[in-house]
Amino acid sequence: MATIAVFSTRPHDELFLRGADPDERHELRFFETALQPDTAVLAVGADVVVPFVNDDLSSETIDRLADAGVRGVALRCAGFNHVDLERARERGLVVARVPEYSPYAVAEHCVGLILSLNRRIHRAHARVRDANFTLGGLLGFDLHGTTVGVVGTGRIGTCFARIMRGFGCSVLAHDPVESDECRSLGVDYVALDELFRRADIVALHCPLTPATHHLVDAAAIATMKPGVMLINTSRGGLVDTAAVIDGLKSGRLGHVGLDVYEEEAGVFFEDLSDRVVADDDLMRLLTFPNVLITSHQAFFTREALTAIAQTTMENADAIAEGRPPVAPVE
């Protein structure tokens, strides 16, 4: 039996994680608070911590977890850009993640953003609720025949490319590791600058690393087609927010769909509706009629949560018993 401390818990986390431990083999301790240096003390007595995407796993937190006797970290997400892996290694903490759950969940959400932005479905919905049945300002374009640029053709990017091929789009891709599966779908691999130059829709599906930080910056936006649609369901840091705001103001960016945001920690997943939000860039983005933001919900399907909980429990189980986890972060 392992003691597992789950941070940033929302009701669905408890539901699915308990569902993945039907025989109640483990002691699950759920904390609503995020994991950060001053909350790491809650992990005292736990074998494993289970943090989420916006928890703070800096060296300070890692030190406090190690001092508390925690053996490892079982992230219940795919990305691990928020973990100081070197410090974890130094302190002997095993780190595991959920590399694969439902690529369909994220790819389909990406398509949802594209369709909503193109056909202004979010604006039409607000309008008809106010008994305004006019069409002005709702003009879209056929996706059929457009060129979609996919940056990163891993699990999610490949799934997304397949869907867009189904719409009758031409798909360009850029990835240092080219996929035969994508080629067989009729995807053409090109250099990143060519993708930016030719795509009507640019969708980001690569991880956030030092090499991909601000992959979409002012220089990249300047090379894109006027009126291009930019979709980021990957990680906020891939995009320079200030450059995106400038691109929207100049009209170079015709539509922007974001499920992730560089400064989302402490904002996304929270109800701030009765507070003053201090992030001026985020509030500016929300004023554009051609921007659609969702709160890091692309992963949020029943199938994905079931798979995330399953792998997380398997990782936690293994770490607690001193076995290699099923999906270590190396």
67 φ/ψ sector (left φ>0, alpha ψ -120 to 50, else beta): alpha
Q: Does 151 bind ligand NAD (CB under 6 A)?
A: yes
Stretch that binds ligand NAD, among 6-14, 20-28, 150-158, 311-319 (CB under 6 A): 150-158
Q: Does 82 bind ligand NAD (CB under 6 A)?
A: no
Nearest CB to ligand NAD, comparing residues 36 and 153: 153
173, 150 contact by CB (below 8 A): yes
Q: Does 79 bind ligand NAD (CB under 6 A)?
A: yes
Q: Does 257 bind ligand NAD (CB under 6 A)?
A: no
Q: Determine phi and psi for 170, rounding to 5 degrees.
A: -85, 140
How far is Cα 146 from Cα 108, in angstroms, rounded to an integer?
18
Q: Supply the minimum distance, in Å, between the C-beta of residue 3 and ligand NAD.
A: 27
What residues are labeled active site?
235, 264, 296
Residue from 96, 143, 248, 298 binding ligand NAD (CB under 6 A):
298
239, 263 contact by CB (below 8 A): no
93 φ/ψ sector (left φ>0, alpha ψ -120 to 50, else beta): beta
How far is Cα 150 from Cα 131, in angstroms, rounded to an integer?
38
Q: Does 211 bind ligand NAD (CB under 6 A)?
A: yes
Nearest to 30 by CA among 46, 8, 52: 8
Residue from 71, 97, 205, 255 binding ligand NAD (CB under 6 A):
205
Residue from 46, 62, 95, 106 binding ligand NAD (CB under 6 A):
106
Helices (H) and strands (E) in the chain, counts: 12, 12
Q: Does 71 bind ligand NAD (CB under 6 A)?
A: no
Stretch that binds ligand NAD, among 120-128, 203-211, 245-253, 261-269 (CB under 6 A): 203-211
How far is Cα 2 from Cα 29, in angstroms, rounded to an integer?
11
Instruction: Determine the angle formed by the axes of helices 103-119 and 121-129, rounding to 10 degrees.
Output: 60
Question: Residue type for 318, please?
Answer: A
| CB-closest chain residue to ligand NAD | 154
Q: Does 232 bind ligand NAD (CB under 6 A)?
A: no
Nearest CB to ligand NAD, comparing residues 142 and 181: 181
Contact footprint for ligand NAD (CB under 6 A): 78-79, 103, 106, 151-157, 174-177, 205-208, 211-212, 233-235, 259-260, 296, 298-299
